[in-house]
């Protein structure tokens, strides 16, 4: 019964999508020279014993070797903005509905084109341990900008939104955009892969892991890093220091940034509403997007 519910959810989301684009038309580049190929078929790895979020199951997609970008057009008035969404999952799986398709339901209702990146897992990050996920993210940004005219997108209002490991990926592509981590393929790779803004939700891997407010040197923030909003709960087992360290680094180089910390909320809640105050974070982000004039 659980698998059937998950399947119906995935089908319903796919029906509202405009198109699905392969990230690598001729096969993905090597993410790491020592990486072992994943020979298992792509599948939902959720079991009946896995936890529920807001009383509902979620899709835990594993063994992704052929990454794709799924495009969801805006509902109603098109704001001209676009957001590439990176689901989380510890670079082991992807929470494809909780932190992917459900996010697009929210973004498209605000007139924003939503593009969900199904990046390679497992073993695809964090960079530089493996370049695979960051390669997929860089390529996805170029694909969106290449299709800007077709999708009625302003190429200067293309941002990223990531959760957990996807939050790290959002920061990684925000700080590694000067050079592609793969040989150019087509016109998409002539486009900038720098996000115009970043939304980073309960991120991991941004701190040094010692509970100090020290930024991971593998996400080298500069004054060219895009404006960023960060959200995390103080009781997040991943460590609120991740969001704080990144915020302080942005502040030090005068990049416009906001940090929203909540006393409780844990980790991995997505947009699903609960009784906890952190559940209101989408309203805060919407206000920020208006403030930086991404949407009106």
Q: What is the domain partition of the chain in residue ranges?
A: 2-25+40-291
Please name the residue ranges forming H helices in 198-273.
Answer: 241-252
Give me the pLDDT at residue 17, please: 60
3-class secondary structure, 23: coil
Q: What is the mean pLDDT of residues 73-98?
A: 97
The hierarchical CATH code for the domain 2-25+40-291 is 3.40.50.1820
| pLDDT over threshold 70, residue 10 | no
Residue 154: closest CA among 273, 296, 265, 39:
296
Give me the pLDDT at residue 39, please: 79
The structure tokens listed for 189 are: 């790779």
| Rounded Cα gap, residues 129 and 203, in angstroms | 17
| Rounded Cα gap, residues 119 and 135, in angstroms | 9
| Mean pLDDT lowest among 9-23, 177-191, 215-229, 255-269 | 9-23
Chain mean pLDDT for the chain: 92
Half-sphere CA count of 75, side-chain side, radius 13 A: 9
């Amino acid at each position: 019964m659980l698998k059937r519910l998950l399947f119906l959810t995935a089908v319903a989301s796919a029906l509202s999508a405009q198109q699905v684009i392969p990230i690598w038309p001729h096969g993905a580049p090597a993410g790491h020279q020592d990486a072992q190929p994943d020979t298992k078929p792509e599948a939902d790895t959720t079991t009946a014993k896995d936890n529920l979020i807001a009383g509902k199951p979620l899709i835990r997609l594993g063994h992704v070797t052929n990454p794709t970008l799924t495009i969801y057009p805006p509902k109603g008035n098109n704001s001209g903005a676009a957001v590439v969404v990176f689901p989380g999952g510890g670079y082991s799986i992807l929470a494809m509905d909780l932190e992917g398709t459900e996010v697009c339901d929210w973004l498209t209702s605000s007139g924003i084109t939503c593009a969900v990146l199904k990046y390679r897992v497992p073993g695809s990050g964090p960079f530089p341990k493996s370049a695979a996920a960051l390669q997929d993210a860089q390529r996805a940004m170029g694909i969106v900008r290449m299709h800007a005219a077709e999708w009625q997108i302003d190429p200067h209002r293309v941002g990223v939104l990531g959760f957990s490991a996807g939050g790290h990926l959002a920061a990684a592509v925000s700080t590694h955009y000067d050079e592609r981590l793969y040989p150019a393929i087509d016109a998409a790779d002539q486009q900038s892969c720098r996000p115009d803004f970043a939304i980073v939700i309960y991120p991991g891997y941004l701190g040094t892991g010692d509970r100090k407010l020290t930024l991971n040197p593998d996400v080298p923030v500069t004054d060219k890093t895009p404006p960023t909003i960060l959200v995390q709960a103080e009781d997040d087992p991943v460590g609120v220091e991740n969001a704080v360290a990144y915020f302080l680094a942005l502040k030090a180089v005068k990049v416009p940034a906001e940090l929203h910390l909540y006393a409780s909320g844990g980790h991995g809640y997505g947009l699903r509403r609960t009784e906890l105050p952190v559940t209101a974070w989408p309203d805060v982000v919407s206000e920020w997007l208006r403030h930086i004039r991404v949407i009106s």
